[in-house]
Amino acid sequence: MRSILVALLSASSIYGTLLAEQAAAVENVLLGTWKLIAYVREDVETGKTYDVFDTNAAGYVSYGADGRMSLIIVRGDRQKPATGLPTDRERIELHKGMIAYAGTYRLEADKVTHQIDISWNEAFTGTHQVRFVSLKGDMLTLTTPPRNPLRTVDWESES
């Protein structure tokens, strides 16, 4: 099954609401912090979509004017450890319910490439992750190229 991953984000940019002239410049479109509103996978062949973590997933992606970016996504149903320090089992479950990485980014027309310097999963460290970018109003959609597995994330701007 080939699938794509889509993330929807809403505008809550630390730079405030994007001005029309800023939106015209691709370099300025991503600047700021975007709040996750949906993280879904789509089966390319059937068009069927489903939540990757759950309907209450939370996350942020930030793009800085200095070319740095960071991302974190967590399941909405993660359980707090019974005590201050998680047991090994609790730690495993917490880890399974998150994605986090940081690095630099490069914009090219309708795509952004995340160049991963550090990650929750060392398999991503040193890789380049391509996302197609779509901006409609204050809604940013990042979509991975079709692959197996593939994830999509939507974000809203943080104001």
What the chain holds in terms of domains, given with CATH numbers, is 3-157 (2.40.128.300)
Going residue by residue through the chain, which has 159 residues, state the pLDDT in tens, using 9 for 90 and above: 333 445 544 444 333 333 344 344 445 678 888 988 888 887 777 878 878 777 788 889 999 989 999 999 998 888 889 988 999 999 899 988 899 999 999 988 888 999 999 999 999 999 999 998 888 778 888 888 876 444 555 556 665
Residue 100 dihedral angles phi and psi, to the nearest 5°: -155, 135
75 and 97 Cβ atoms separated by less than 8 Å: yes
Tokens encoding 20: 């029309």
Tokens encoding 76: 């909405």
Output the pTM of the full model.
0.76
CA angle 27/52/136 to nearest 5° reads: 35
Residue 69, H or E segment:
strand 68-74
